[in-house]
Amino acid sequence: MKNLNKYHGVVVPMVTPITKENDIDVAAVERIIENFAQNNVSALIMGTTGEGNSVSVEQGAKMIEAAAKTAKGRITIYAGLAGNCVSEQYAAAKKFIEAGADVIAATLPCYYALTPEQMYDYYKNLADFLTIPLMLYNITITTHMSIPMDVIEKLSHHPNIVGLKDSENNIPRMEEALKLFADREDFAYFCGCAANSAKALSLGADGIVPSVGNFLPKMYNDLFVAGINGDMETCQKLQEETIEIGKINTTGLTLGQSLAGLKVIMKLYGLCETYMLAPLTELDADTVKKIENEAKVQLNIGK
């Protein structure tokens, strides 16, 4: 069995539940977090799946506060930090910390293409500023930049930088990262590409970050436990099942549409409504019906 880093396990990139009035649905936040806690998975609030760039600072703090109060220390609350104005990011981080976040997970400001030196300075300065730990968050699909491995390795020795969530779908890069970090007790590696979860765990990853965990937290916790215990047959079987389930709300859809589809499935489980934050929108009726029908068959909902 792998020796677990302090930061480990399944961290679900949680959806942002919204009311019809375009505010945070606190009751839904409480339901989702309680479901996570009962299945031993933590939450990343305001990540890409959580429409992070569309959530106001006030809404984010409100959601973190509700999540932290519900979690009661049973799971780790990671707060996503995104945006292009660094001074506003610092102000937001302070509010998220006051609201109860345990760790800040920050993506690169991405309006301008950054040099490796600028990436390093951004994270180093942020880590110096924060009063809670910082996790690096690499996601090329939205930032259109990849944090170089030598920059990550250098940052990994900062006393307030505790890990990397890497959502880049790049197996050679993941293999390189885990050669560097798999045995590090002071720096955790989280695989943010859910389809590569089993592979990452076989190489010594500390955690996985799957969006399907929003409605199937137990399945992903079972996958994680099998992986760290070396039961790769069970881990791979669950991996294949989750990949097929993940196609329900992603096939033929853009990233933004797939997030709306995820909420359609979550509504079937009674976890949240389907409202989205602008500029994203709810899906058309035909697409909703298609997702509902496929989910009911594959997931045996209502049977």
* pLDDT at res. 2: 60
- Assigned token pair, 243: 């990949």
Please, how many CA atoms are within 13 Å of residue 107, restricted to the half-sphere of its CB? 27
- Short-list 107, 73, 110, 70, CA closest to 92: 107
Say what the pLDDT of residue 301 is.
Answer: 85
Tokens of 191: 């695989």
Which SS3 state, helix, strand or coil, does residue 210 take?
A: coil
Predicted model pTM: 0.95
Alpha helices in the chain (DSSP H): 26-38, 57-71, 86-99, 116-129, 140-143, 149-155, 171-181, 197-202, 217-228, 232-246, 255-268, 285-299
Q: 3-state DSSP helix/strand/coil percent for the chain, to nearest 5?
A: 50, 10, 35
Whether residue 77 contacts residue 42, with contact meaning beta carbons closer than 8 Å, is answered with: yes
Question: pLDDT (tens digit, 9 = 90+) per residue, 111-147?
Answer: 999 999 999 999 999 999 999 999 999 999 999 999 9
Q: How many Å apart are CA 249 and CA 73, to the nearest integer?
A: 32
Distance CA 172, CA 178 (A): 10
Which tokens in the block code for residue 210? Answer: 């799957």
Q: In this predicted structure, what is the pLDDT of residue 303?
A: 57
Average pLDDT over residues 261-284: 97
Cα–Cα distances in Å, from 246 out to 10, 167, 215, 270, 293?
16, 16, 11, 19, 14
Identify the helix (H) or strand (E) that includes residue 253: none
Residues 24-53: pLDDT tens digits? 999 999 999 999 999 999 999 999 999 999
pLDDT at residue 210 is higher than 60: yes
User: What is residue 1's predicted lDDT score, i.e. its pLDDT?
Assistant: 56
DSSP 18: B
